[in-house]
């Protein structure tokens, strides 16, 4: 383990951060931004998320069996970038245009028509979207999170989610980033302060325990 990461984890442990939130009673599965622009290594925005996609598909299969809410997100903008705000200065958002292939979900996820797709503009899946309405209607209290990137959209979504009172459960094997350092540090931060970082095995056991 990296020395600095170990130091960070030791600080959190010493200060008694990172107590488990645990699952609630009514979960949803939220798949964040597994779109072609990010899952295609040839894309300027892309990385190899094949490992994370594999585990996300396993979770999707079980979630569909149990009939729990499944929600996907993408990030996309008007061609003139009028809805990108100041964020377009920081990131190459000009590659993410509404109606183009890069902003489509990775086809291996096989999204169904009754599974909502939220188009967001910024990092958090909650900011400026109707996600909270979808969750409230279904009386969801627990959000199982997969997707990318850990340091950006995953972290922002988890912070907003816990702020709204949801139990945020981040599946370690099903989230990823373009760089390992930001991925690991973000997972450590999330687990210390905002949600539970859990294994895919724990997530699957919970889903299998549900009654349809």
What is the rounded distance in angstroms from the CA atom of residue 192 to the CA atom of residue 48? 27
Looking up tokens 């488990």 gives: 20
> Interior CA angle at 13 toward 10 and 18, to 5°?
130
What is the rounded distance in angstroms from the CA atom of residue 85 to the CA atom of residue 66? 39
Contacts of 79 (CB under 8 A, 6+ apart): 97, 98
Contacts of 210 (CB under 8 A, 6+ apart): 27, 66, 68
Q: Would you please indicate which residues are annotated as catalytic (active-site) residues?
A: 153
Mapped onto helix, strand or coil, the DSSP state of residue 46 is: coil
Pairing of strands 70-75, 117-120: parallel
First to last CA, the chain: 41
What is the rounded distance in angstroms from the CA atom of residue 74 to the CA atom of residue 117? 7
């Amino acid at each position: 383990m990296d020395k600095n990461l170990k130091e960070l984890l030791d600080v959190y442990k010493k200060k008694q951060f990172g107590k488990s939130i645990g699952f609630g009673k009514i979960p949803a599965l939220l798949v964040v931004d597994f779109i072609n622009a990010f899952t295609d290594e040839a894309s300027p925005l892309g990385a190899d998320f094949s490992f994370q996609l594999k585990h996300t598909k396993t979770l999707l299969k079980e979630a569909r069996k149990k009939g729990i809410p499944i929600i996907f997100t993408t990030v996309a903008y008007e061609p003139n970038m009028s809805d990108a705000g100041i964020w377009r200065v920081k990131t190459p958002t000009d590659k993410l245009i509404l109606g183009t292939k890069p902003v489509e979900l990775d086809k291996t996820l096989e999204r169904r028509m009754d599974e909502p797709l939220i188009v967001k503009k910024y990092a958090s899946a909650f900011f400026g979207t109707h996600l909270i309405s979808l969750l409230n209607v279904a009386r969801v209290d627990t959000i199982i999170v997969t997707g990318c990137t850990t340091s950006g959209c995953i972290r922002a979504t988890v912070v907003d989610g816990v702020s709204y009172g949801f139990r945020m459960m981040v599946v370690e094997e099903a989230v990823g980033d373009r760089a390992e350092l930001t991925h690991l540090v973000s997972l450590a931060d999330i687990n210390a302060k905002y949600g539970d970082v859990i294994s895919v095995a724990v997530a699957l056991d919970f889903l299998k325990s549900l009654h349809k």
